[in-house]
Structure 1
């Protein structure tokens, strides 16, 4: 600190790093050192090269000093003249001690990252699968109901929840379709099927047995059998309790990350789960299981299993990879294999003579298409079994819908 007056002195607060006592001391600034004169007559010299300033000091008018090699001691200097001289002339104030044991620290860091990855990607899914079998239905229903309301609000454009469609004739047609599928004995709890008045081409299952179908899917479907096939697929997810497992995995992952980063709340889980369901992507095994269940359920009900595959295939051709219901379906691995599986199930059902009457008559299909009170029912194609007339190409001028199918 060349040029600093030898006799320049001021008062400061000193903590020796051994006791909690704050001492009022006199500090004397010399060219090569800072001398600390304690009240009892003791003197400590901190050499200029040893002086270090603690980082992140908000008050530039004062300076909190420590000594290299003695990181616990503190000297709080508030005299503006000494602070200015130290900042200008003490060249090592900002120097940080070298990091020791870098290899060990790196090893521990990698171990911590690997542990978190193991918990999130291995232990949490395993625990979620186990807990799903023991979670009370009332708890699942409460989570599903809360998430349903969050979804209604998230999809709103004017802060008013999206309407639930409740046209009486449409609800009756939907109940008739559910009864025809006859999944009741397989279900872990009663199912509630809701139609939301939104143009997303989407459908998904939620914890607690709620299945959501969007108006956009009803508008896009060319037959009631296509809707029944999607519904059968979602019933397969309910039977497998896939939404509950997904919610538990999400809650576990958010909980682990929340403990690490200090941002965890139940509302966060519901918000993330709502987004997850809208863009639902279950594991390949869960999707295959829901497909297999839908094929069997449709065959047992005398309905065409091919409707599950050809609906997605037709929309994929219409909208491509970036839009429409097929966009989400295409995000799952082995889409072509899943479509082929649906067509193979169709062939087996036809060979066995299992294809029966349409799932809905023409009036019921129009009522279902008009469940939200719009004009969709006016141009509803006649319901059929999908072999000869049920999968016509979209009519010219029909607008495309953006969205995806959940699960």
Structure 2
């Protein structure tokens, strides 16, 4: 039997889609369409207006035809005479059907976006908060130790030795005395280690596992020991709430989800960074406000005015300005103007506050890195990073 029996009848391969099995069918051209006679005796009618040619098929010897509204059935025609007639009679053969309505696509896209938002803003923070409490202290300390050494190497211009740790015994003893006066031991999940790095950055931060890091630049910027005590109390608040570990877990989870969305394409890394910064800024601002509140109570209990946290902010505000508008969303801390007002409001009316260190101990702390009296830092230097912008 030949492939073509007449000008109007031929044989073709047909797959209905329910099973991945080709069936040999008889194809007859009618006035209103194609009649497909199947081996079981059943016939199908595909109207001319319903016929669509499927593009980019691997089988280039055949014209692959589908039916509008049926996304899985295919007819493989190899008879060139029938194909020519079909191309003449089927008015919408080259038309591309929209398989899914735009409204459905929009609905599905909105649902997907809502799901991702729920994962990043709800699920990831919840899991990070739970894991931060469940992680053993040894694991947190190991993470903090590794991070601390990475920071030292990153800040060292040679990248070989690491930024020096200030080792003057009297200065470190003064810092420890300040910590002992604040007396946060009952609140802490583990012991605290305080390090002072010999770097002019105006900053301090807490790491997982109870490490608190100060920079020489911050100590030089302070006008009295109470301001350093206020910063120390703030960082202790982060340790108490295990914010560094929580933040590390949250960032890892957020980056993982965002990485699945953005992938590895040109510009993807920048988008990933900006999105993660925006996400983490909202979390960090809440954590910073909580740490401030903890610091006010700790300072007040130690007989130190909570306003000390605000006086340093006032100078930083005058020197570096505050973040306004959209820039504020990318800052990890609340606006300094609000923090100054909050610190002043935390002062208890009628309460007498004192100094946390003797003058000699304060001088020792100021010279912890050099062994000599510290000169006030030049506020015009552009390379210093002001605490609290990256805590």
TM above 0.5, one fold? yes
Instruction: Find the partner of 1:380 among 353, 375, 382.
Output: 375
Check whether the contact 1:329–1:404 (CA below 8 A) recurs between aligned residues.
no
| 1:32-181 matches, cutoff 5 A | 33=33, 46-54=46-54, 57=56, 61=60, 64-76=64-76, 91-96=92-97, 117-118=117-118, 120-122=120-122, 125-126=125-126, 128-145=128-145, 160=159, 163-169=162-168, 173-174=171-172, 176-181=174-179
Which residue in 1 is equivalent to 2:230? 229
Q: 1:45 to 1:396 in 2, by over 3 A?
A: closer
Query: Is the Cα–Cα contact under 8 Å of residues 242 and 286 in structure 1 kept in the other structure?
Result: yes
Shift of 1:240: 2.0
Post-superposition CA distance 1:154-175 (Å, at most 9, x none): 77899x4893422432x76346
Cα distance in structure 2, aligned partners of 1:224 and 1:253: 38
Shift, 1:302, TM fit: 5.9
Report deviation, 1:66: 1.8
Task: Check whether the contact 1:7–1:30 (CA below 8 A) recurs between aligned residues.
Answer: no
> 1:286: Cα distance to partner?
3.5
User: Which residue of structure 1 lines up, in the alignment, with residue 313 of structure 2?
Assistant: 312
Identify unmatched segments of 5+ residues in structure 2: 1-5, 264-268
CA shift in 2, pair 1:287/1:18, >3 Å = closer
Counterpart Cα distance in 2 of 1:82 and 1:145: 76
Deviation, structure 1 residue 354: 5.7
Q: Residue 367 of structure 2 aligns to a residue in which SS?
A: helix
In structure 2, the CA distance between the partners of 1:25 and 1:146, relative to structure 1 (3 Å rule), is: farther
Number of matched pairs: 369
Is the contact between residue 233 and residue 293 of structure 1 (CA under 8 Å) also seen in structure 2? yes
Cα deviation for residue 76 of structure 1 reads 4.7
Choose 60-69 or 107-116, whichever is displaced more: 107-116
Alpha carbon RMSD of aligned pairs, Å? 5.3
- Match of 1:384? none
What do the CA deviations read for 1:161-218 (whole angstroms, capped 9, x no partner)? Answer: 893422432x763464134212344321123445567665333223322334445545
Deviations 1:49-102 (A, max 9, x none): 2223457x4769576432124322123568999989988975343332575795
Is the 1:61–1:80 contact (alpha carbons within 8 Å) kept by the matching residues of 2? no
Change (3 A) 1:352 1:199: closer
C-alpha separation between the residues in 2 aligned to 1:23 and 1:156? 73
